[in-house]
Structure 1
Amino acid sequence: MTSKLKLLVATSTISVAALGFTPAFAADLGTDAGTSITNSVSVAYNVGGTAQTAETDSDMFVVDRKVNLVVAKSDAVNSSVAPNATQQAVTYTVSNQTNDTIDVLLTSEQPGTDDFDVTGTITYYLDNGTTAGVFDAGDTEITFIDNLAEDESVTIHAVADIPNGVATGALADIILIGQAAAHGGAGLPATGIDVQGTAFADDSGDADDPTLVQNVFADAAGSGAADGAGDGYHSATDTYEVSAADITVTKTSTVLWDPVNGSTNPKAIPGAIVEYCIAVANASGGAEATGVAISDTIPANLVYYSSLASGPATVPAVIGVVTEGTVNGSVCNADGSGTGAQAAGVVSGNLGTVASGATETLIFRVTVD
């Protein structure tokens, strides 16, 4: 038995007071890592009714680091993209639930269980809030998240290119992986860029050392294949979903008149007038097609028929120049508002936007040599 314990047994009057402290707390995450906590005790006693000098002692330890990083998809919808589009973003929220300021190292992976892979290098951008949550020119390209404070969240865009030839509804998953790291500190004054920190090591299996800040990983399992609980990582999956225009082109010709039969059962003989209809259809369920432009070279033995003014009276006076229109069943209608042109034997026209589920046409006439 120690001398202090003997004293406690022998005295007739004993009082014990534990002297407390006011700890430093993060917003919701408990006491800051590295906070030094000293707890002092004083034992007062009497001997034979006479007060004696109090015995004191104290204990000190530092608060350890509870490492908890949370990566989440920023919203519930997939990111709609078009085939062959560049610099397309999927978006995540990265939150620091650690009782310390940290850096976050960023990597990503494509699981290979989806419909296609993005192309090029996946890059990362910090959303600067110009248009909150939307990737735009105001965002900053980064390789890691610097100095993420306790209980703070940031929005991160992972940006890549979409290959050509992918169909509407095709999906590509991107898993953003964050790894908790020590804050690297200030960088070179000339650059103003801080130093990337070193990833934390898990100290939960080490012997307790009250003088050191030790790391205990408290993160949940993420969506990455190798991202388990309590490993210092966290990850989440966001998805590109292709919305493509499904364009088909159908070109038909109709003989309107010939110099022998007129417009009654006409044939494609020399001097006959033939009407061409180029129908551009965009299947339902996809994206609208914009900037739809047509170029058609008139073949040999045909001559562009530019005017009805000198044409046969029996030819319907529908058009005298290239014009747009619509299709009802198999009938081409010259009822559009746009017009085209012909130059050096090439017919051209711009249909503008062809909506999903719509069909628009370009119509022109020729004569047979």
Structure 2
Amino acid sequence: MEQNQMMYPAKIAALASGTALIALQTAPAFAEGTRSGTIITNTATVDFRVGDVQQTRQTASDSFTVDRKVNLTVTLVDGPTTTVVPGQTGAVITFDVSNLSNETIDAVLAVTQASSGDAFDATDVQIFVDDGDGSFNPANDSQTTLIDEIGEDATVRVFVVSDIPLGQANNDLANLTLSATAHAGGAEGSQGALLTATSGTNTAGIDTVLADGAGPDDSANDGIFTARGGYRVSAATLTVTKTNRLLEDPVNGTTDPKAIPGAEVEYCVAVSNAAGSATATNVIVTDVVPDDLAIITGSVRINGGLDGSNNCIGGDPGGNVTGQTVTAQLSDLAGGETRTASFRVTIN
């Protein structure tokens, strides 16, 4: 009996081995991790025997709260620049704003224009948040600087809409930046407080970690992300020259004619579009002729060319004459092309 009792301490030491069983209480996991505010409880259990008798299970638990990881991204959807024409209104640049945080947040939007390195600033710049169809429609999309309650892993399309000043030259560039700044979510219909990183050691509550990367105009871990877009002007670059040549006069005929009453003069208007420029359409030449001249009926010709002396040659009959006004519509003028309009008058 004593012998058996002497063996008990050794037997207890051998049998008092336990297995730890882990129980986790979590919310569903998303692409960016467990939702902030989730309380994770980890319980370990120890089962053991003394002799051949199962003893009371021992447990120990520990809990912590998942902190807030804030990460916004802004992506340019279009190419590096959006092609526009001078005087265009409602020119659209498309961005996507994505919430890679582990909770719903508000994103406050802003547009800034480059202070250097481009040719002009767009005007009447506005921000619209898409209604969900992915296409800009000012009647349905919301003009706002707030994406309210953007959920975890959600992406919202944003349109920057601007006007282009008239008179901009071909290839002129306007650069702008769209920024999204993280604010607290949770209050639908109102802008939450600015999110800032929690300093110091981890607390028992929900701390904030700014996990965003660096965009072109922001720093990493600042709760802001930026993306750049731009407007590239595609313009026709027209030059107009007007010349005249004496064809004949009543005294000298066609030999060294002079500008005397009764002389016949040809006017030549040449319209050129610089190489690489956008095609000019609906090109209309209008010339108001002084009363000292009489327009010769049927003399208007359009879509001609120039000879080596820059005189009009060729062309087709056309145009209109109303009183002392000549109007000639030319065909579309692509970059690098020249077309002419010509007409003849006599000196009164």
TM-score (norm 1): 0.81
Deviation at 1:367, TM superposition (A): 0.9
Deviations 1:340-361 (CA, angstroms, capped at 9, x unpaired): 2222312223335322111122
Given that 1:321 and 1:340 are in contact with CA atoms closer than 8 Å, whether structure 2 keeps it comes out as no
- The 3 A distance-change label for structure 1 pair 48 and 31 is same
**2:306 alignment partner in structure 1:** 328
| Residue identity (%) | 39
Query: Out of 125, 139, 142, which is 2:128 matched to?
Result: 125
**1:191 alignment partner in structure 2:** none
Cα distance between partner residues in 2 of 1:321 and 1:256? 13
Deviations 1:142-195 (CA, angstroms, capped at 9, x unpaired): 222223222222332222222344322222210111112222533xxxxxxx32
Given that 1:284 and 1:357 are in contact with CA atoms closer than 8 Å, whether structure 2 keeps it comes out as yes
RMSD: 2.6
Given that 2:87 and 2:166 are in contact with CA atoms closer than 8 Å, whether structure 1 keeps it comes out as yes
**1:240 alignment partner in structure 2:** 231
Query: Out of 191, 195, 205, which is 1:200 matched to?
Result: 195
Query: Out of 155, 159, 162, which is 2:161 matched to?
Result: 159
- The 3 A distance-change label for structure 1 pair 281 and 137 is farther
Given that 2:122 and 2:174 are in contact with CA atoms closer than 8 Å, whether structure 1 keeps it comes out as no
Deviations 1:269-311 (CA, angstroms, capped at 9, x unpaired): 21112111111111111112233222211113111111xxxxx
Cα distance between partner residues in 2 of 1:239 and 1:135? 20
Given that 1:281 and 1:359 are in contact with CA atoms closer than 8 Å, whether structure 2 keeps it comes out as yes
**1:6 alignment partner in structure 2:** none
Cα distance between partner residues in 2 of 1:293 and 1:117? 28
Further displaced range: 274-283 or 86-95: 86-95
Given that 1:325 and 1:363 are in contact with CA atoms closer than 8 Å, whether structure 2 keeps it comes out as no
Query: Out of 92, 95, 102, which is 2:95 matched to?
Result: 92
Further displaced range: 165-174 or 120-129: 120-129
**2:244 alignment partner in structure 1:** 253
Given that 2:303 and 2:331 are in contact with CA atoms closer than 8 Å, whether structure 1 keeps it comes out as no
Deviations 1:235-271 (CA, angstroms, capped at 9, x unpaired): 1111222222111111111222322233344332211
Given that 1:26 and 1:150 are in contact with CA atoms closer than 8 Å, whether structure 2 keeps it comes out as no
Mapped pair 1:220 → 2:208: no
**2:75 alignment partner in structure 1:** 72
Deviations 1:304-359 (CA, angstroms, capped at 9, x unpaired): 111xxxxxxxxxxxxx143312213424234247x322223122233353221111
Given that 1:118 and 1:161 are in contact with CA atoms closer than 8 Å, whether structure 2 keeps it comes out as no
Given that 1:184 and 1:196 are in contact with CA atoms closer than 8 Å, whether structure 2 keeps it comes out as no
Deviation at 1:99, TM superposition (A): 1.7
Deviation at 1:214, TM superposition (A): 1.9
Cα distance between partner residues in 2 of 1:359 and 1:129? 47
Deviation at 1:22, TM superposition (A): 6.5
Given that 1:321 and 1:341 are in contact with CA atoms closer than 8 Å, whether structure 2 keeps it comes out as no
Cα distance between partner residues in 2 of 1:353 and 1:149? 51
Deviation at 1:219, TM superposition (A): 0.8
**Consecutive unaligned residues in structure 2, runs of 5 or more:** 1-11
Given that 1:118 and 1:160 are in contact with CA atoms closer than 8 Å, whether structure 2 keeps it comes out as no
Given that 1:11 and 1:47 are in contact with CA atoms closer than 8 Å, whether structure 2 keeps it comes out as no
Given that 2:305 and 2:315 are in contact with CA atoms closer than 8 Å, whether structure 1 keeps it comes out as no
- Supply the AA of the counterpart residue of 2:191: Q
Q: When the two structures are aligned, how many residues end up with a matched partner?
A: 335
- The 3 A distance-change label for structure 1 pair 152 and 26 is farther
- The 3 A distance-change label for structure 1 pair 266 and 170 is same
